[in-house]
Amino acid sequence: MCMLCLVPPNVIPSREKLENSALNNPHGFGFAIVISSENRIHAERTMNADTSINRFLELRAKYPEDYALWHARLATHGSTTVDNCHPFKVGGDERTYLAHNGILPILEPTGDMRSDTRIFAEDLLPAIGGVSALDNPQVMNLIEDFTSGSKVAILTVDTRAAYQAYLIHENKGHKDATGTWWSNDSCHLSSSRTWYSVKPMDFGVNDTGDYCLVCDSAVETGDELDYCPTCSSCYSCYTPKGDCLCYHKKPLGVKPYPTEGGAWGW
């Protein structure tokens, strides 16, 4: 699912919501902050959640005047490496960065280890004119159709663009009291389960009750399990237990991470 967070000028987002997002989307992190006074964007990517959150909040406090974005990845396409962490330069141009939440209709060429979002940022958007093309209503309509079901945020200091920030499918996310926009509800944790992933127990439902979406075996709804007891597939990402990279919360009563920074309880 991923988490895409867009922060308006003069706002610092909630650390708790960033940490919750990282727990639910643990496959890489990144951020970008517009610094218009220096005509540049500062961007960082890492596989370490604690590093990303601390650095983002530190630099956001230093540069609060413009738009910023932060992203936590839940891998669906491409390798789980820092190279596929968001945000991505659009066409290799350091003046424009793009981050995305969702799945794009992109078929990766054989052997291409890039994610769908990375291909979109590096190849497809530049091919239609880059960020400034989004100021053309017809092009924007095409991009909105192409990204249907997804959310895309773009930050730029390219003087050819009319805006500093573009948010595609804003209505599919929500703003909190500070004005910070979150692409989904994975910035919240639930205390009702002893594990965490993108959403509570991802089952199918038929006339006989809940069942595993991988092996179709029956699953008791009261079972507080991370993996299917029959096929050992993760209820969140559907991969076998030995290959699953999802974070699973520790038993209730045990804090998964310090409340004031420090090491993460992976």
Higher-confidence residue of 13 and 248: namely 13
Q: What is the CATH number of domain 3-182?
A: 3.60.20.10
115 CB contacts (<8 Å, ≥6 apart)?
Answer: 75, 76, 77, 78, 84
In the chain, where the domains are located: 3-182
Among residues 51, 83, 78, 70, the alpha carbon closest in space to that of 155 is found at 70
Q: Give residue 249's pLDDT.
A: 46
Could you tell me the pLDDT band of residue 115, with boundaries at 50, 70 and 90? Answer: confident
What's the pLDDT tens digit per position in 214-242? 656 666 654 456 777 777 777 766 666 76
Return d(Cα 16, Cα 264) in angstroms, integer: 13
Return d(Cα 18, Cα 243) in angstroms, integer: 25
Could you tell me the pLDDT band of residue 212, with boundaries at 50, 70 and 90? Answer: low
Average pLDDT value for residue range 69-87: 86
Lowest mean pLDDT segment, chosen from 36-45, 91-100, 227-236, 255-264: 255-264
pLDDT of residue 208 exceeding 60, the answer is no
Higher-confidence residue of 201 and 158: namely 158
Q: Give residue 112's pLDDT.
A: 78
Alpha carbons within 13 angstroms on the beta-carbon side of residue 238 total 11
Higher-confidence residue of 149 and 203: namely 149
Higher-confidence residue of 125 and 247: namely 125
Could you tell me the pLDDT band of residue 259, with boundaries at 50, 70 and 90? Answer: very low
58 CB contacts (<8 Å, ≥6 apart)?
Answer: none
pLDDT of residue 152 exceeding 80, the answer is yes
pLDDT of residue 156 exceeding 70, the answer is yes
pLDDT of residue 254 exceeding 50, the answer is no
Q: Give residue 10's pLDDT.
A: 97
pLDDT of residue 71 exceeding 70, the answer is yes
Among residues 53, 51, 39, the alpha carbon closest in space to that of 3 is found at 53
pTM for this one?
0.70
Determine contact, residues 63/42, Cβ cutoff 8 Å.
yes
Average pLDDT value for residue range 146-174: 94
Q: Give residue 213's pLDDT.
A: 63
